[in-house]
Amino acid sequence: MAEPRPSAERPYPDGVAAAFEVARRLRAPDGCPWDREQTHETLRTYLMEEAHELMEVIDRRLGDAKLLEELGDVLFLVAMHAAIAEEEGRFDAARLSESVAAKMVARHPHVFGGEQVADAAEVLRLWERRKADEAARAGREAETVVDRVPVTMPALAWTLQMQKRAARVGLDPLPAAGDLAEIADRTRALAEADDPDQAFREAGDLLLAVVGLARRRDVSAEDALRAAGQRFRDRFAALDGELRARGVRYEDLDPGERAALWERTD
């Protein structure tokens, strides 16, 4: 059966190419003025925003319809970047797809070749070794495993990924048995800090230790804090709604009443 041809109502081909074709059309001389103005730099904010919207859908299990929508938004931004690069004569969507496919094949010889692995942990260790080899071939011999974690990530996620990658290559500075003692020491040091600079440093060291403890419990500190923040948001909304229904403001309540209401919304 012949594939449907693009039409005025559906001006794109079937399949994966659809998003890339629409991106090209929007960037064309007679395309959309706003889309034509975009650059790799201006799209950065939108990529971050769409990635966070996708994470919210995943975290809150909002269903396939929302997952499809948000994955599509991320894919379309990739298509826009590919269209910009194609206009500049750097690479196109086909080369982009083939490049990442070749990289994944090279990094999975236990799937596409004859290499044998015992478990997922060994896969990760070999993955880091191959990335180090790639960096060396590219002239980045001094690059470490933690250098390959983007510093633009949220701080908790960045710290977690650096710790995990260091542990993969055999460096896990704090023994698991010392987690609680380290956290207690850092908490005490923060509470007793007598100047802002010291408090700032101690707060960072405390959070670093908490990320390490969560990691050893197989918990992402970033995701755990985000979930806790959502619970806080929901509890605040419930409390706020109750007070508005009663015609009461927060400052009208004494501290004991505020504490009791807060506990009741848990």
Q: Which has the higher per-residue pLDDT, 18 or 11? A: 18
Domain-located, residue 168: yes
Select from 89, 90, 76 the least CA-distant residue to 35: 76
Q: Please tell me whether residues 179 and 95 are part of one structural domain.
A: no
Domain-located, residue 119: no
Q: Please tell me whether residues 159 and 255 are part of one structural domain.
A: yes
Roughly how many angstroms between the first and final C-alpha of the chain, as a whole number?
58
Domain boundary among the residues 73, 106, 139 is at 106
Domain-located, residue 134: no
Domain-located, residue 99: yes
Q: Please tell me whether residues 32 and 91 are part of one structural domain.
A: yes
pTM: predicted TM-score of the whole model, two decimal places: 0.65
Q: Which has the higher per-residue pLDDT, 200 or 171? A: 200
Residues 6+ apart with CB under 8 A from 35: 23, 26, 27, 80
| pLDDT above 50 for 117 | yes
pLDDT at position 28: 93
Q: CA–CA separation, 263 vs 266, rounded Å?
A: 5
pLDDT at position 9: 64
Select from 147, 144, 145, 162 the least CA-distant residue to 222: 162
Domain-located, residue 3: no
Percentage of the chain with pLDDT > 70? 92
Domain residues for the domain of 232 are 149-264
Q: CA–CA separation, 247 vs 253, rounded Å?
A: 12
Q: How many domains does the chain have?
A: 2
Domain boundary among the residues 53, 83, 106 is at 106
Q: CA–CA separation, 180 vs 24, rounded Å?
A: 55
Q: Please tell me whether residues 97 and 164 are part of one structural domain.
A: no
Q: Please tell me whether residues 86 and 166 are part of one structural domain.
A: no
Average pLDDT in the 13-37 region? Answer: 90
Grade residue 173 by pLDDT with cuts at 50, 70 and 90: low
Structure tokens at 163: 């710790």
| pLDDT above 80 for 177 | no
Is residue 31 classed as helix, strand or coil in its secondary structure?
Answer: coil
Domain boundary among the residues 106, 141, 165 is at 106
Domain-located, residue 138: no
How do the residues of the chain divide into helix, strand and coil, expressed in percent and rounded to 5? 70, 0, 30
CB 110 within 8 A of CB 104: no
Structure tokens at 96: 């982009």
pLDDT tens profile 118-144? 888 888 888 878 888 888 888 887 888
Q: What is the mean pLDDT of the chain?
A: 86
Q: Please tell me whether residues 165 and 260 are part of one structural domain.
A: yes
| pLDDT above 50 for 2 | no
Domain-located, residue 135: no
Give the domain CATH number at 81.
Answer: 1.10.287.1080
Q: Please tell me whether residues 251 and 155 are part of one structural domain.
A: yes
Average pLDDT in the 148-176 region? Answer: 83
Compute the C-alpha angle 26/31/36, nearest 5°: 70
Query: What's the one-letter identity of residue 249?
Result: R
pLDDT tens profile 182-200? 889 899 999 999 999 999 9
Q: Please tell me whether residues 176 and 260 are part of one structural domain.
A: yes
CB 253 within 8 A of CB 261: yes
pLDDT at position 176: 59
Domain-located, residue 7: no
Q: Please tell me whether residues 89 and 153 are part of one structural domain.
A: no
pLDDT at position 254: 81
Q: Please tell me whether residues 101 and 154 are part of one structural domain.
A: no
Residues 6+ apart with CB under 8 A from 74: 47, 50, 51, 54
| pLDDT above 50 for 89 | yes
| pLDDT above 50 for 25 | yes
Of all helices (H) and strands (E), which one includes residue 130? helix 120-137
Q: Please tell me whether residues 251 and 186 are part of one structural domain.
A: yes
pLDDT tens profile 67-84? 999 999 999 999 999 999
CB 139 within 8 A of CB 126: no
| pLDDT above 80 for 167 | yes
Select from 48, 80, 50, 81 the least CA-distant residue to 67: 50
